[in-house]
């Protein structure tokens, strides 16, 4: 097909669209399913969320590695730290559900769905796990190794991380921030089962997916009791965030009516509301939290993801901006940055400690940030782009999946 192919993806989700296919896809699915995949704002948002996660962890390590940090910059960074953390992960999960559900709205088969999800997730994950193994081997039992993320440095956790299951079995050293990859695997499985039970109709699939989510939430208390060890906080948290993922899926599948409903909301109002709600919950209820989650946390996640989804819908209701290199670059580095920043900042600080560099807080933070972004750009060029090109070739040769007719209810 003519035109330039591009990918608009969530944390680990992807759906390529060629410009030459836009007319046919629009007629088949309607403007709501098409617009999102050619909208550069999704790439922009993914990249900014990944940068937010990286900044939070780089700040933590710079504070740990600096003797008595102080100054105006440190004070500002300290106040901004809560906004560069777990709330960004919640936004990632909303976007993941949004893009994965929208991709299955075009066509669906079990084999194709499984291949697309596995081939998107594991190549870069394998590289990140191997990078982490090199860093942890270099700093094993060394006093120069930073104290941050020192648990799970053993062969068992290495192989569990390689399988994408570290979020359920304990984190592997410096790869700790990538625990939500395990959650993504769980959500992909839930959505795949829901799509099969709904005969590949995405909107109907929301019903069995919601039933599964409610069943898991009901069982959340005994599951939480069984995983009382803080090192195994993953399963209860994954269950608590499943409704967040489904809200993202609902946003994709019902985007047009949602956009009509929120079109009157100014974009800045939506994002300020998200920030204000987050600030209020943080100060009043000390949320969000990732360990020891309960029904109150589930309610918090749902409210925040709903506000986030409304802000995104209000944003997408505005005219689509022209694609630019910055948005494309942000989307491209989002997954590499999310995966690799953990071992990169630990490895960078380990090297500085061994060389005897004692940098002030501002300089240490700058080094960690620059190293993370450069590593993400390298991984995007050497791993991400070749893998994405290979997936497109395989997808083009694969038998066509079941396509949902235009007149068939989604």
The pLDDT, as a whole number, for residue 132 is 98
Least confident span in 27-36, 273-282, 348-357: 27-36
For tokens 């309607």, name the residue: 30
Name the band, by pLDDT with cuts 50, 70 and 90, for residue 1.
Answer: very low
Is residue 28's pLDDT more than 60? no
Mean pLDDT (whole number) for 94-112: 91
The pLDDT, as a whole number, for residue 291 is 79
Name the band, by pLDDT with cuts 50, 70 and 90, for residue 404.
Answer: low
Do the Cβ atoms of 25 and 34 come closer than 8 Å?
yes
What's the predicted TM-score (pTM) here? 0.86
Structure-token pair, residue 19: 């410009």
**Residue 193: its H or E element:** helix 180-197
Name the band, by pLDDT with cuts 50, 70 and 90, for residue 196.
Answer: very high
Do the Cβ atoms of 377 and 91 come closer than 8 Å?
no
Contacts of 232 (CB under 8 A, 6+ apart): 168, 169, 170
> In angstroms, rounded to a whole number, what is the distance separating the alpha carbons of residues 261 and 171?
42
Q: Ramachandran region of residue 71, left (φ > 0), alpha (ψ -120 to 50) or beta?
A: left
Name the band, by pLDDT with cuts 50, 70 and 90, for residue 293.
Answer: confident
Mean pLDDT (whole number) for 92-118: 92
- Mean residue pLDDT of the chain comes to 86
Half-sphere exposure of 315 (CA within 13 A, CB side): 19
Is residue 225's pLDDT more than 80? no
The predicted-structure confidence for 359-376, as pLDDT tens digits, reads as follows: 999 999 999 999 999 999
20 phi and psi angles, rounded to 5 deg: -70, -20
The predicted-structure confidence for 122-176, as pLDDT tens digits, reads as follows: 999 999 999 999 999 999 999 999 999 999 999 999 999 999 999 888 889 999 9
> In angstroms, rounded to a whole number, what is the distance separating the alpha carbons of residues 123 and 333?
15
Is residue 14's pLDDT more than 90? no
Burial (Cβ within 10 Å: 0-12, 13-18, ≥19) of residue 42: buried
Mean pLDDT (whole number) for 364-390: 96
Is residue 273's pLDDT more than 80? yes
Q: Which of 58, 79, 120 has its CA nearest to residue 368? A: 58
Is residue 203's pLDDT more than 80? yes
Helix (H, G, I), strand (E, B) or coil at 402: strand
The predicted-structure confidence for 241-265, as pLDDT tens digits, reads as follows: 999 999 999 999 998 899 888 999 9
Give the DSSP letter string of 86-111. Answer: HHHHHHHHHHHHHHHHHHHHHEE-HH
Name the band, by pLDDT with cuts 50, 70 and 90, for residue 2.
Answer: very low
222 phi and psi angles, rounded to 5 deg: -65, -35
Where are the domains positioned within the chain? 39-397
Mean pLDDT (whole number) for 29-54: 73
> In angstroms, rounded to a whole number, what is the distance separating the alpha carbons of residues 145 and 330?
30
Structure-token pair, residue 233: 């906080």
pLDDT greater at residue 225 or residue 8: 225
For the chain, what percent of residues have pLDDT higher than 70? Answer: 84
């Amino acid at each position: 097909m003519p035109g330039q192919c591009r990918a608009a993806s969530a944390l680990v989700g992807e759906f390529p669209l060629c410009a030459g296919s836009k007319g046919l896809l629009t007629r088949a699915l309607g403007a709501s399913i098409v617009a999102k995949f050619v909208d550069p704002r999704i790439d922009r948002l993914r990249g900014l969320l990944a940068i937010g996660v990286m900044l939070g962890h780089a700040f933590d390590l710079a504070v740990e590695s600096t003797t008595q940090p102080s100054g105006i910059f440190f004070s500002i960074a300290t106040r901004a730290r809560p906004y560069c953390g777990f709330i960004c992960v919640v936004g990632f999960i909303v976007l993941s559900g949004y893009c994965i559900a929208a991709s299955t709205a075009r066509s669906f088969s079990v084999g194709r769905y499984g291949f697309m999800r596995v081939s998107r997730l594991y190549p870069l994950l394998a590289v990140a796990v191997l990078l982490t193994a090199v860093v942890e081997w270099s700093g094993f039992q060394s006093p120069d190794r930073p104290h941050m993320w020192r648990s799970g440095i053993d062969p068992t956790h290495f192989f569990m991380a390689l399988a994408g299951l570290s979020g359920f079995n304990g984190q592997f050293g410096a790869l700790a921030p990538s625990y939500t990859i395990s959650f993504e695997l769980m959500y992909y499985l839930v959505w795949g089962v829901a799509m099969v039970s709904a005969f590949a109709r995405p909107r109907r699939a929301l019903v069995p997916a919601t039933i599964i989510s409610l069943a898991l939430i009901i069982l959340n208390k005994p599951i939480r009791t069984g995983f009382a060890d803080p090192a195994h906080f993953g399963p209860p948290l994954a269950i608590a965030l499943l409704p967040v993922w489904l809200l993202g899926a609902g946003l994709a599948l019902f985007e047009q009516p949602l956009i009509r409903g929120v079109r009157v909301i100014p974009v800045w109002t939506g994002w300020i509301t998200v920030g204000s709600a987050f600030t209020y919950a943080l100060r009043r209820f000390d949320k969000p939290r990732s360990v020891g989650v309960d029904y109150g946390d589930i309610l918090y996640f749902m409210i925040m993801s709903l506000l986030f989804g409304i802000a995104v819908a209000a944003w997408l209701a505005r005219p689509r901006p022209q694609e630019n290199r910055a948005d494309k670059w942000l989307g491209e580095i989002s997954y590499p940055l999310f995966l690799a920043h953990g071992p990169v900042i630990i490895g960078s600080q380990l090297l500085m400690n061994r060389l005897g560099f004692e940098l002030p807080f501002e300089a240490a933070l700058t080094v960690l940030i620059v190293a993370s972004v450069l590593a993400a750009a390298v991984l995007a060029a050497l791993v991400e782009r070749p893998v994405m090109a290979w997936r497109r070739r395989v997808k083009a040769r694969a038998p066509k999946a079941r396509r949902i007719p235009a007149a068939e209810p989604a």
